[in-house]
A and B are shown apart, each in its own frame.
Chain A
Amino acid sequence: MTDPPVPYRVLDTRPETADTVTFRLAPAGRALPPFAPGQFAMLYAFGVGEAPVSVAGILPDSGLMHTVRAVGAVSRALHRLRSGDVVGVRGPFGTGWDLPLAAGDDLLVVAGGIGLAPLRPLVQAVLAAPQGYGRLNVLVGARSPDDLLYREELGGWALPYCGVTVDRAGAGWPGRVGLVTALLDQARFSPAETTAFICGPEVMIRATARELLHRGVLPQRILISLERNMHCATGHCGHCQLGPLLLCRDGPVVGYDRAEHLLTVREL
């Protein structure tokens, strides 16, 4: 039995790209338990349906921030939300980013596309307590400069290294073009004392994790966020099964030591 969605009101919305929007929510009544970076909520667009969406921000007074790309019926409905609208929220669900594991380590945060959204609260948590960690590196890959999320915020993060690369440069783009792994040469980290947090398309996750293993980062210190078809979010329906893992419950954040062999199996 799952809990019913709790009403949350849209405080404001902000377009990120042509098809992606960020909105902030506040409880319209009872608040859900606190979310941790890397966890997700089931957002219910009334009359349309429910979809899993990672938290992109954890706000005061039980508020939440989400970034949604319009790709299906539910996400298109969420994309159309306006300030004052009400959505249903269930959660928090799933494993979050294991920040205590990274205590004292250099940190590599590697994001591809909208994968930056679930990593954003992690970066904010580290920036709020930098003394607990080594050097924080943020590496971002996007399709084009126009597809970059949180552009202004990225520029404002005071980090030892913050790199952005795009697949296709537009006119006047002065930055890098290429895969996000190409940024690793500029990042500042000692592989044996590094924890990596990766989120993005699975092909990008695999390419990044392999490169990090090659450089000497331990597989159990490579944490990846996986996406599957999450329905119930409570580990009952099995839609999000990946081998022995039910990703809504055992994930979405999984150590690469557990996930590596599962990501190369053609049928599970």
Chain B
Amino acid sequence: MSPITVEELAGLMKQAAGVSVAPQDLQQQYDSGFDALGIDSLGLLGIVGELENRHGTSMPPDAERCKTPRQFLDLVNSTLMAGA
């Protein structure tokens, strides 16, 4: 299974939370808080739910508590890789 990319995360942020950030900008804001990007806790929960539906697998409860894109991608990708 291939890991979630920054591009995919940017697409999810737009779809689930209505926040438009270009993937290259998101790359640069890798350690910014989701809150600073305009993603609130329900928005992140929506992103987690969409990922779970797409990949047919559960994400760990900590996924929705991640503060930054880097933390989030590290966690979900290690989960997906472990289940692959």
Asked if A and B are interacting partners, one says no
Chain A interface residues toward B at CB < 8 A: none
Chain B interface residues toward A at CB < 8 A: none
